């Protein structure tokens, strides 16, 4: 088979099942609900050969920044240009804006070839949530907090992620920290099949970030969780000590002119799942 035998089309709901077979090959825990959520927030493309799906890509747009959330090619069909062609379609769709992603070691050579630069390493922790008491200071968000949450999220990431935040609110749990009545930090946890993904965590310091995670964890005792930490989050040692240990690292990468300015003191400590880019 050659790349010229491959057809490319828009990713639709009917492609989800076969995409899940490819993500299982790659060892990823993706589930139908999550892929539908990703498509709902963005769009994607698929590659087919003889009516079989051999590759998929999904992307989301957060204001002026595009993020690539999923790229996978059938393991029997790799190194034939399919991944590269899917990336070119996504970059064409993105147009001028800055594009960000979290690269696995498999994906990194391709992204470097397409002009992406390395930003920083990110660290995935995984483990079962132990018995944990909520610490003073963090509380559950209310619907009225969503505007302030979106505002501090934008100031920490430079991205307009209102659509993502409303999904986290509708499908997951969201905690906040307030100071003088204003939201100064927030965190969310969302189920991805058998795994609870904790993130994003946006806060002014590591202590706030930890208090937010403690509140989320206190409601998910015994659940398998995944937490993707930014470099210098200050949370790695604590997570390792409670059995949510580092299992892998990946690379945050970016292409194009940086549009996204961040405003201290708000900072991302934990990413919102690698599918939603960086930070």
Helix, coil or strand: residue 236: helix
Buried b / exposed e along 135-171 (16+ C-beta atoms within 10 A): eeebeebeeebbebbbebbbbbbbbbbbebbebbbee
Helix, coil or strand: residue 189: strand
Kindly report the CA angle at 129 between 126 and 135, in degrees rounded to 5? 120
Min dist CB 170 to ligand COA, Å, is 27
Nearer to ligand COA by C-beta: 106 or 205? 106
Q: Which residues bind ligand COA (CB under 6 A)?
A: 26, 71-73, 78-84, 103-104, 106-107, 109-110, 113
Q: Classify burial at 219, counting beta carbons within 10 Å of its beta carbon; exposed 0-12, middle 13-18, buried 19 or more.
A: middle
Min dist CB 82 to ligand COA, Å, is 4
Min dist CB 199 to ligand COA, Å, is 17
Helix, coil or strand: residue 120: strand
Min dist CB 7 to ligand COA, Å, is 15
Min dist CB 25 to ligand COA, Å, is 8
Rounded Cα gap, residues 108 and 129, in angstroms: 31
Rounded Cα gap, residues 210 and 48, in angstroms: 45
The DSSP H or E segment spanning 117 is strand 117-128
Altogether, the residues listed in the chain come to a count of 279
Nearer to ligand COA by C-beta: 88 or 220? 88
Nearer to ligand COA by C-beta: 84 or 137? 84
Alpha helices (H) in 135-255, listed in sequence order: 146-157, 162-171, 206-218, 236-241
Nearer to ligand COA by C-beta: 54 or 156? 54
Nearer to ligand COA by C-beta: 79 or 136? 79
Residue whose beta carbon is closest to ligand COA? 83
Min dist CB 211 to ligand COA, Å, is 32
Nearer to ligand COA by C-beta: 78 or 155? 78
């Amino acid at each position: 088979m050659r790349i010229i035998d491959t057809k490319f089309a828009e990713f639709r709901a009917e492609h989800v099942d076969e995409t899940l077979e490819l993500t299982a090959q790659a060892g990823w825990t993706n589930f139908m609900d999550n892929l539908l959520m990703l498509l709902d927030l963005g769009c994607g493309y698929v590659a087919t050969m003889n009516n079989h799906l051999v590759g998929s890509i999904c992307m989301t747009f957060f204001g002026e920044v595009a993020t690539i959330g999923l790229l996978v090619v059938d393991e029997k069909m790799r190194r034939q240009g399919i991944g590269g062609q899917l990336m070119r379609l996504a970059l064409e769709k993105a147009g001028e804006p800055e594009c960000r992603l979290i690269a696995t070691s498999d994906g990194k050579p391709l992204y470097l070839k397409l002009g992406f630069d390395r930003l920083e390493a990110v660290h995935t922790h995984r483990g079962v949530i132990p018995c944990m008491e909520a610490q003073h200071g963090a509380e559950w968000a209310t619907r009225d907090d969503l505007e302030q949450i979106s505002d501090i999220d934008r100031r920490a990431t430079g991205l307009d992620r209102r659509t993502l935040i409303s999904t986290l609110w509708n499908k997951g749990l969201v905690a906040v920290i307030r100071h003088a009545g204003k939201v100064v930090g927030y965190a969310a946890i969302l189920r991805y099949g058998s795994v609870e993904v904790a993130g994003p965590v946006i806060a002014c310091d590591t202590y706030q970030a930890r208090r937010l995670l403690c509140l989320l964890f206190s409601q998910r005792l015994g659940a398998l969780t995944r937490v993707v930490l930014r470099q210098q989050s200050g949370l790695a040692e604590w997570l390792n000590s409670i059995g949510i240990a580092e299992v892998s690292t990946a690379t945050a990468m970016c292409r194009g002119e940086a549009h996204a300015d961040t405003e201290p003191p708000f900072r991302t400590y934990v990413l919102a799942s690698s599918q939603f880019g960086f930070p």
